[in-house]
Amino acid sequence: MTLDREQVLRSAAALLTRKSTATMDEVARAAGIGRATLHRHFAGRDALVRALENLGIQEFEAALDAAELDKGTSEEALRRLIAAVEPSAGLLSFLVTENQLFEGEEVNEGWSRTDARVSAFFRRGQERGEFRIDLTPAWLTEALYGLVSTGAWAVQVGRVAGQDFQYMIVELLLGGARRSVEQ
């Protein structure tokens, strides 16, 4: 036996991504373990969510690393980032929603780090003349989170094909819906 704590977190993430109000019992069943065992690994629901938050931050930071945002053009870097983030999109979507419930309480410092990195990426792109300067880096950062969440949900419910996830997000984020003249 000696179950894998990491594996439990993965299945919890998968379940909570689909049903964010799942009970501890449902989370345990989904992981194929008993509720008591789940409590032995995570002191409570808060602890579980915090662990998931740390996992999400860790995965997001890994995606930021993997994307090598300072290499090549900003556009290429953004494409790499969205590609790298796709496997974590569902979890991040859950965490974003969950975070909004905290309305003022202390938030995990990890988000400040990721916010800073994403925001700095957009600012660099602006300084290089590759991104518009009339949209603030803070807004572009939030928009990226929002579109990734929306995309994950749209794929989840079947409104968007899974294989289009990256393309739809990147293209909208980069070029918008307007048909440009050169096309």
Partner DNA sequence: ATTCAATGAGACATTCATGTCTCATATGGG
Partner DNA sequence: CCCATATGAGACATGAATGTCTCATTGAAT
Told to check if 37 binds DNA by CB under 7 A, we report yes
Which CB sits closer to DNA, 29 or 123? 29
The answer to whether the beta carbons of residues 20 and 45 sit under 8 Å apart is: no
Distances from the Cα of 174 to the Cα of 20, 25, 89, 130, 144, angstroms: 30, 42, 18, 10, 10
Considering only 7, 19, 20, 25, the residue that binds DNA (CB under 7 A) is: 25
Residues 78-117, interacting with its own copies (CB under 8 A):
97, 100-101, 103
Shortest distance, position 37 Cβ to DNA, whole Å? 3
Binder of its own copies out of 40, 130, 162, 163 (CB under 8 A): 130
Residue 7 interacts, among its own copies, DNA, none and using kind-specific CB cut-offs from 5 to 8 Å, with: none
Return d(Cα 95, Cα 21) in angstroms, integer: 12
Residue 101 touches DNA, criterion: CB under 7 A: no
User: CA angle at residue 78 from 181 to 136, to 5 degrees?
Assistant: 75
Distance CA 83, CA 6 (A): 23
Amino acid code (one letter) for 171: E
Question: Which positions touch DNA (CB under 7 A)?
Answer: 1-3, 23-25, 32-37, 39-41, 43-46
